[in-house]
Chain A
Amino acid sequence: MIQAFAFYLFAVLVIASGAFCILARNPVHSVLWLIVAFFNAAGLMVLVGAEFIAMLLVIVYVGAVAVLFLFVVMMLDIDFAELRAGFVRNFPLGIALALVLVSELVLGLGALKVGGLKLGASDGSAMTATGQSNIEAIGALLYSRYLFVFEASGMILLVAMIGAIVLTHRQRSDTRGQNISRQVARRPDEATRNERPEVGQGIQL
């Protein structure tokens, strides 16, 4: 009973916050609704027994990606009227994209119902790995059967990261950098000196 109640609660909240994410006029509100949606999706994953994925979803998407997203959206000065202007023009494109996504969803569910895929039980619950916790089951698969795919995706991400740094990094010669160790090593007698100037005379700095 509690499980059914929790499922309907999370499911309704995911759909509602997803809708609000699109409908909100303010982009910051959109991002916050998106975060609520992520959070409730994590709740759904806990319910189907995928607690590791649920935690990863919260850590990676809510904890890191959405924070950066919010950071950028907060700093952007967005003209809402201009943003709304293209709505009618882009409407057909949006509908087409939505149709593609819906048909993919229907195809996937159909394949699962027919039995072409062995992802889990057809009632939607995950396949239980006997005597193994989530983390062990995923780890055992990632580091044995899918080792090369896993390593390759890691390499791609590394290249992407280095690429982003190379693209945005610029050497500037006109700025003075901080040398922290020199600053920390500085002592009062190196930085100050005692002078006793004559009356009416200044000090040469």
Chain B
Amino acid sequence: MTSFFQDFYLLGWVHQWQLLHVTMGYAPAWALATIAGILLIAFPLMLGVAMIIYADRKIWAAMALRKGPNVVGPFGLLQSFADGLKVFLQETIIPSAANKALFLIAPIVTFTVALLAWAVIPFNSGAILADINVGLLYVLAISSLGVYGTVMAGWASNSKYPFFSAMRASAQMISYEVSIGFILICVVLWAGTFNLDGIVQAQKSHVWIINGFVANPLLFPMWVMFLISGMAETGRAPFDLTEAESELVAGYQTEYSSMSFALYWLGEYANVLLMCALNATLFWGGYLPPLDLPFLYFIPGTMISLGFFWLFLKILFFFFIFSWVKATVPRYRYDQLMRLGWKVFLPLSLFFVFLVSGYLMATHHFCDADQTLYSDAGQYARMQSSGVCK
């Protein structure tokens, strides 16, 4: 097996996995454990998306001094499920001039891609579906696929508004991916690894006792830019130009109805949750508690880890920020969006790559760093002997 599959942990269920391994043999046990892990992530994620749509509407309503959904279930908690049932029972309409196959594949692509990237998010120490050493690159690769759902929908609908929306989407997503790449390079330089679990571990008591790169003055501006770029990348307000209702009706979703429309809806919110999880994992210490104090790691008196709790708390915090921005900030004009991406974020993030790498070289960061940061002892020894460290 290649390194892609080697370091396999199923959400921390290492012992069960080994038990399966012994009784069933490697390959069937591996397949079973992986499928179980995928379901363990995907189902709670779908439930989370349903609840987060409700939370989004409640927050938005509260900021507009409205009540929001309050009819279905206690406090309107079941609103998303009622909406889901409604779209499920509706008729799927396919425009006669549409390219049928692509029209139906496009929402599936958006939805699938939104789920794929969760494979490398660490939910707790070792609780990660695919602990690959190119985890962050995998996230970048998957998020760059997200644009295809939109572009295919825009083209296959054979209608003017979706087509304009598709052209906007492809330009917008490419522009912001460039600056996101540079921002991620700063994080990777500091952490010394592409593995997301390794990046979280590298943030342990990063500044004094604070867990998280965000407390670092060189990386704090990077986090602000990452948050804004994340909003542009997921097409959230104030950068929701792909579905600007005052100009493009509903953008690429105009011709969609029923379940194909619902798939876009779910995929969009799953993407937003993923961006929140990435913000938490890359800059705010992921599953680590905010402060590096021993009693924050476990439920008091037990050995049960609080990693899940801290990660979910951070994801919810960032989702609140996303909702807050959506409720308060007016939509950007398209030329301003492009200007922000290419003329402000790109030079600034490039400058910070120089700044961060210069600082790390000047302070011999990799020479006196903790040896456990490295994936193997050999890399540490090579860094020591390579002449970089004097």
> Which of A61-69, A99-107, A110-118, A149-157 touches B?
A61-69
Neighbouring A residues of B137 by C-beta, 8 Å: 52, 55-56, 59
We find that the number of chain A residues with CB closer than 8 angstroms to chain B is 35
Q: Given the interface contacts A55-B134, A132-B379, does A67 sit within 8 Å of B170 by beta carbon?
A: yes
Task: Please tell me if B350 contacts chain A, counting CB pairs below 8 Å.
Answer: no
Contacts of B194 in A (CB 8 A): 135
Q: Determine whether A46 belongs to the interface, using a CB cutoff of 8 Å to chain B.
A: yes
Q: What per-residue 1/0 map shows which CB atoms of B353-383 lie under 8 Å from chain A?
A: 0000000000000000000000110110010
Chain B residue at minimum C-beta to C-beta distance from A140: B382
* A188 CB-CB contact with B under 8 Å: no
Q: CB-CB < 8 A to A58: which residues of B? A: 141, 144-145
Contact A51 B132 (CB under 8 A): yes
Measured CB to CB, the closest approach of chain A to B290, in angstroms, equals: 30
A62 contacts B144, C-beta separation under 8 Å: yes
* Among A52, A133, A178: residue with most chain B CB under 10 A: A133
- B residues 82-126 touching A (CB-CB < 8 Å): 102
Give the contact stretch, choosing among B146-154, B304-312, B314-322: B146-154
> Secondary structure at chain B's binding surface: helix, strand, loop or mixed?
helix
Contacting pair B376 A131 (CB below 8 A):
yes
Interface size on B, residues (CB 8 A): 39
Nearest CB on B from A188, distance (A) = 15
Q: Are A63 and B145 interface neighbours, CB within 8 A?
A: yes
Known: A1-B27, A3-B1. A135 touches B134 (CB 8 A): yes
B141–A47 touching, CB < 8 Å: no
CB closest chain-A residue, reference B335: A178
- A74 pairs with B155, CB closer than 8 A: yes
Do A2 and B27 touch across chains, with their CB atoms under 8 A apart? yes
| B2→A47 contact, CB < 8 A | yes
Q: Fill in one digit per residue for A1-16: 1 if any B CB lies within 8 Å of its CB, else 0.
A: 1110000000000000
* Interface secondary structure of A, over-half rule: helix
B167 at the interface (CB under 8 A from A): yes
A1-B27, A58-B141, A63-B177 known; A32+B102 contact, CB < 8 A: yes
The reply to whether B133 and A51 contact each other, CB–CB distance below 8 Å, is: yes
A180 located at the interface, meaning its Cβ lies under 8 Å from any Cβ of chain B in the complex: yes
Residues of B within 8 A of A47 (CB): 2
Q: Is the CB of A46 within 8 A of B145?
A: no
Interface residues of A in 97-148 (CB under 8 A from B): 131-136, 140
- Is B30 engaged at the interface, CB distance under 8 Å to the other chain? yes
Is B174 close to A, CB under 8 A? yes
How many angstroms between the C-alpha atoms of A85 and B102 in the bound complex?
27
- A/B pair count, beta carbons within 8 Å: 92
Is the pair A52, B145 in contact by a Cβ cutoff of 8 Å? Answer: no
In the assembled complex, the Cα of A133 lies from the Cα of B6 at a distance in Å of 12
A2 to B2, CA, bound (A): 12
**Restricting to B122-175, which residues have a CB under 8 Å from any CB of A?**
132-134, 137-138, 140-141, 144-145, 147-148, 151-152, 155, 163, 166-167, 170-171, 173-174
Contact check, B133 vs A134: say whether CB atoms are below 8 A apart.
yes
Nearest A residue (CB) for B140: A59
Q: Which A35-91 residues have C-beta < 8 A from chain B?
A: 35, 46-49, 51-52, 55-56, 58-59, 62-64, 67-68, 70-71, 74-75
Is A63 within 8 A of B378, CB to CB? no
Q: Which of A2, A56, A70, A140 contacts B151 (CB 8 A)?
A: A70
A189 to chain B minimum Cβ distance, whole angstroms, is 20
Instruction: Please name all residues of chain B whose beta carbon is closer than 8 Å to the beta carbon of A136 when the two chains form the complex.
Output: 379
CB neighbors of B among A7-39 (8 A): 28-29, 32, 35
**B residues in contact with A178, CB < 8 Å:** 335
A64-B174, A136-B379 given as contacts; is B4 within 8 A of A51 (CB)?
yes
With a 10 A CB-CB cut-off, give which of A2, A35, A132 has the most chain B CB atoms. Answer: A2
Among residues of B, the one whose C-beta sits closest to the C-beta of A56 is: B137
Contact A74 B151 (CB under 8 A): yes
Additional A-B contact list (19), CB under 8 Å, known A3-B2, A59-B144, A71-B167? A3-B1, A49-B2, A49-B4, A51-B3, A51-B4, A58-B141, A59-B141, A62-B144, A64-B177, A67-B173, A67-B174, A70-B151, A71-B151, A71-B170, A75-B167, A132-B379, A133-B375, A135-B134, A140-B382
The 4 closest A-B pairs by CB, nearest first: A63-B144, A58-B141, A55-B137, A131-B378
- Please, could you name 18 A-B residue pairs with CB atoms under 8 Å apart, sorted by A? A3-B1, A32-B152, A46-B4, A48-B2, A51-B134, A55-B140, A59-B141, A62-B144, A63-B140, A63-B145, A63-B177, A64-B144, A64-B174, A70-B170, A74-B151, A131-B376, A131-B379, A132-B376
